[in-house]
């Protein structure tokens, strides 16, 4: 065995063009070792020497195996050190969350009750897809919903466009695509995630950045720092560990379809894109097809499909006249061709007692039938409560239409930044008036006047602060809990400057009101000197104090655990806890700072021979009241939860546009199938329903 090894070693060394000395030098062994192994003088080389010689000879695969076998041993397997991969762990957590979400959604929408509708598709016209040379091998793209993953994998580029009319079943198809792909997913495969394209503005934000923002919105744990800076969400997108399922290209705002298609063509990401046919065709004619993408068109349901499905949805023998009418053609045959309209008909007539689908036969126009189905859906779902609920749904749909989105984002209730600024200002002013009156003024006439002036000034200042912050972008939900970060960033500096500016303005206003009050009560009070001292002292102290607490607020933000934000209600509750915790922190910090800072300033003024009356107890009391008022003002004016409370829980219900128990109403609408959930937001079950309710306003 050893002689065979010696012969093989000499042969391999000569093939590599090495002398014994050169091989010994490269393998870092002695020349006598190499010579002894080749001549058979040395036997049984140890494993370390074998690995060093194999590496120096650059042996791989079969040659390396033969080399060790000739020495009478198998190469010992070296265990690779286990390395923690944060992206792999994040992808696996994301996979679990996505799968659970869309399984619940399928159950909620009764996709499998009693059987799925047979959604099918055929290859799209050639002008709507790229050339097969770019796609990667021509393939048959026809199929049905349970074959969607198989068809997608036939596309070499892994870029597929799914086209269909409104309500054709594109969303049902994407849901099934995600669940089937996750079922067959290997740990190294990307996680398919559905993104609703209606909120994407391609001229303001790139696709990858927008996807990362959407991931963080729906899965807050992905806001954690990534391995190379940025967030875990951005790292997952950049590493192509997320497969984007882009639902609703047609729902992108008018005028942005062509820029959106151009933006998609700058990427090489594998993806699945859905759209109505006309909007996609217009974008293609104005620019080009989606690069390297194949395309399919969802087919209409047939009379045989309806005959196999509708009778199964009820034990009542009521569908025969409708099915006969569909087979004979006419308006019903033009309407009951999409899963949306069939699902509405099923909900209205199969799932509701004493409703006979034969009433559909009295309509003689397809549009009239569609309006009837859309209009009858809510009465069928809500029964006697329908009349009370429809105005709320109408306001909700109108609100979304004005925002140009399909997402019911709880943090965006309200109107324009100017209007919300006025509302926030009034609320903050009233709250601060109550605090000042009760704590400091003891409800005297003079005290109430003083509190009113302070409340008015505070309301104006924080109303302006709210307007200043939201004029560029709406307040986003704070996905944080109370814990101090190690490093401070731009956000901390920006919020500290904001606190310095508006806190200084609030302090100056307080000083002006205080000086005015003293002048009115004490005629000998020096107006000029008193105003300068009071305004200067309080502007400086309140400005620095507000800058300190605003900076601390920004520094004390870290991502929430995914389990604490699994639904819109969970996200609201998490933000409520966070805001209340921040207010509880602001009050004592601001109070202690004001007491200490005013003591220092007053000491300096006294040294300069100013006559200033000051006591630590009064300063601490002032700090506590200012902290309470400022903390409340911050929570109401500069957090998404505060805006939600003021508008969604108070103003809009007070004016009758939404119910008082809005979260319960939205959850109930979801359970009844009027709304659907998409991560941290609700959406109408279908865009057609949103359009219908918006027209009722």
- Cα distances (Å, whole numbers) of residue 116 to 111, 172, 306, 523, 667: 5, 10, 12, 85, 25
- According to DSSP, the residues that pair with 482 across neighbouring strands are 557
Largest CA distance in the chain: 117
CATH top-level class for 2-70?
A: mainly alpha
Domain with CATH 3.40.50 in the chain: 89-298
Alpha-carbon distance of 391 to 332, in angstroms, equals 29
At residue 430, the pLDDT reads 59
E strand map for 492-612:
557-559
At residue 296, the pLDDT reads 94
- According to DSSP, the residues that pair with 683 across neighbouring strands are 676
Alpha-carbon distance of 547 to 540, in angstroms, equals 10
Cβ pair 306, 114 in contact under 8 A: no
Q: What is the distance between the terminal CA atoms of the chain, rounded to a whole angstrom?
A: 92
Lowest mean pLDDT, pick from 62-76, 405-419, 483-497: 483-497
Alpha-carbon distance of 669 to 693, in angstroms, equals 14
DSSP 3-state percent helix, strand, coil across the chain (nearest 5)? 65, 5, 30
Cβ pair 533, 612 in contact under 8 A: yes
More confident residue, 587 or 428: 587
Domain with CATH 1.10.260.40 in the chain: 2-70
With H, G, I as helix, E, B as strand and everything else as coil, classify residue 579.
Answer: helix
**Residue pLDDT, tens place only, 28-72:** 777 777 888 787 777 777 777 788 888 888 887 777 777 777 777
DSSP secondary structure string for all residues of 254-282 = TT-HHHHHHHHHT----EEEEE-HHHHHH
DSSP secondary structure string for all residues of 462-489 = HHHHHHHHHTTSPPPP--EEE---SS--
Fold of 89-298: Rossmann fold (3.40.50)
Cβ pair 441, 450 in contact under 8 A: yes
- Please give, one letter per residue, the 3-state secondary structure of 65-82: HHHHHHCCCCCCCCCCCC
**Residue pLDDT, tens place only, 151-169:** 999 898 999 999 999 888 8
* Phi/psi at 688 (5° precision): -65, -35
Q: Which residue has the tokens 């309200």?
A: 414
More confident residue, 262 or 540: 262
The confidence band for 373, taking pLDDT boundaries of 50, 70 and 90, is very high
Q: Is the pLDDT of residue 606 over 90?
A: no
At residue 59, the pLDDT reads 80
Q: What is the mean predicted confidence (pLDDT) over 91-97? A: 89
Lowest mean pLDDT, pick from 158-172, 448-462, 569-583: 448-462
Lowest mean pLDDT, pick from 92-106, 261-275, 515-529: 515-529
Cβ pair 262, 122 in contact under 8 A: no
The confidence band for 526, taking pLDDT boundaries of 50, 70 and 90, is low
Helix/strand number for the chain, H first, E second: 29, 11
For the chain, the residue count is: 697
- According to DSSP, the residues that pair with 122 across neighbouring strands are 297
Q: Whole-number mean pLDDT of the chain?
A: 79
At residue 484, the pLDDT reads 43
Q: Is the pLDDT of residue 467 over 60?
A: yes
Alpha-carbon distance of 427 to 309, in angstroms, equals 55
At residue 608, the pLDDT reads 53
- Cα distances (Å, whole numbers) of residue 575 to 168, 275, 565: 38, 35, 10
Cβ pair 123, 150 in contact under 8 A: no
Q: Which of 461, 391, 333 is nearest to 653 (CA)?
A: 391
Side-chain-side CA neighbours of 610 within 13 Å: the count stands at 19
At residue 486, the pLDDT reads 43
Q: What is the mean predicted confidence (pLDDT) over 428-443? A: 54
Whole-number percent of the chain with pLDDT over 90? 21
Cβ pair 243, 190 in contact under 8 A: yes
Tokens coding 249? 């290209």
Q: Which of 410, 409, 405, 390 is nearest to 695 (CA)?
A: 390
């Amino acid at each position: 065995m050893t002689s065979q090894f010696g012969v093989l070693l000499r042969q391999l060394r000569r093939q590599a063009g090495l002398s014994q000395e050169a091989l010994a030098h490269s393998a870092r062994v002695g020349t006598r070792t190499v010579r002894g192994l080749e001549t058979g003088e040395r036997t049984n080389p140890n494993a370390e020497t074998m690995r060093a010689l194999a590496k120096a000879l650059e042996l791989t695969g079969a040659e390396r195996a033969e080399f060790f076998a000739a020495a009478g041993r198998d190469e010992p397997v070296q265990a690779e050190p286990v390395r923690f991969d944060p992206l792999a762990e994040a992808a696996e957590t994301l996979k679990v969350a996505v799968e659970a979400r869309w399984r619940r959604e399928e159950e909620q929408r009764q996709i499998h009750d009693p059987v799925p509708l047979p959604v099918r598709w055929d290859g799209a016209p050639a002008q709507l897809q790229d050339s097969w040379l770019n796609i990667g091998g021509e393939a048959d793209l026809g199929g049905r919903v349970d074959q969607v993953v198989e068809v997608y994998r036939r596309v070499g580029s892994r870029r597929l466009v799914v086209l269909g009319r409104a309500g054709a079943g594109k969303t049902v198809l994407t849901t099934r695509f995600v669940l089937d792909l996750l079922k067959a997913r290997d740990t190294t495969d990307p996680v398919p995630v559905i993104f609703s394209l209606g909120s994407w503005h391609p001229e303001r934000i790139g696709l990858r950045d927008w996807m990362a923002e959407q991931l963080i919105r729906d899965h807050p744990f992905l806001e954690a720092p990534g391995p190379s800076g940025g967030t875990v969400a951005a790292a997952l997108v950049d590493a192509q560990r997320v497969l984007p399922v882009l639902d609703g290209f047609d729902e992108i705002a008018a005028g942005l379809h062509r820029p959106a298609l151009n933006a998609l063509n700058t990427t090489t990401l594998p993806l699945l894109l859905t759209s109505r046919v006309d909007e996609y065709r217009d974008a293609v004619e104005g620019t080009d097809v989606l690069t390297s993408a194949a395309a399919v068109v969802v087919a209409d349901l047939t009379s045989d499909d309806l005959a196999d499905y509708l009778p199964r949805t009820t034990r009542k023998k009521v569908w025969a006249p409708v099915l006969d009418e569909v087979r004979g053609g006419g308006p019903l045959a033009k309407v009951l061709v999409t899963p949306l309209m069939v699902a509405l008909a099923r909900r209205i007539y199969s799932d509701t007692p004493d409703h006979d689908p034969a009433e559909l036969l009295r309509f003689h126009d397809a549009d009239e039938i569609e309006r009837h189905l859309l209009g009858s859906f809510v009465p069928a779902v809500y029964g006697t409560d329908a009349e009370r609920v429809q105005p709320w749904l109408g306001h909700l749909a109108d609100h979304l239409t004005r925002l140009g989105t399909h997402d019911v984002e709880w943090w965006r209730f309200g109107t324009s930044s100017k209007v919300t600024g006025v509302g926030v200002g009034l609320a903050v002013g009233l709250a601060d008036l109550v605090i000042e009156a009760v704590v400091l003024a003891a409800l005297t006439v003079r005290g109430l006047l003083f509190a009113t002036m302070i409340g008015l000034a505070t309301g104006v200042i924080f109303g302006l602060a709210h307007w200043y912050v939201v004029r560029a972008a709406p307040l986003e939900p704070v996905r944080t809990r109370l814990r101090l970060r190690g490093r401070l960033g731009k956000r901390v500096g920006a919020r500290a400057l904001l606190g310095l500016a508006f806190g200084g303005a609030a302090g100056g206003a307080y000083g002006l009101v205080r000086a005015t009050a003293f002048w009115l009560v004490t005629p000998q009070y020096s107006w000029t000197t008193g105003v300068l001292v009071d305004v200067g002292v309080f502007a400086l102290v309140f400005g620095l104090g507000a800058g300190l607490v605003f900076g601390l607020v920004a520094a004390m933000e870290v991502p929430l655990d995914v389990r604490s934000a699994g639904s819109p209600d969970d996200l609201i509750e998490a933000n409520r806890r966070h805001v209340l915790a921040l207010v509880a922190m602001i009050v004592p910090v601001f109070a202690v700072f004001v007491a200490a800072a005013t003591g220092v300033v007053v000491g300096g003024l006294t040294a300069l021979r100013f006559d200033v009356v000051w006591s630590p107890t009064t300063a601490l009391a002032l700090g506590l009241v200012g902290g309470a008022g400022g903390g409340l003002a911050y929570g109401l004016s500069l957090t998404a939860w505060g805006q939600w409370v003021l508008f969604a829980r108070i103003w809009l219900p007070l004016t009758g546009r939404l119910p008082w128990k809005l979260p319960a109403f939205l959850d109930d609408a979801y359970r009844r199938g009027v709304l659907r959930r998409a991560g941290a937001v609700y959406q109408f079950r279908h865009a057609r329903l949103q359009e219908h309710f918006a027209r009722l306003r």
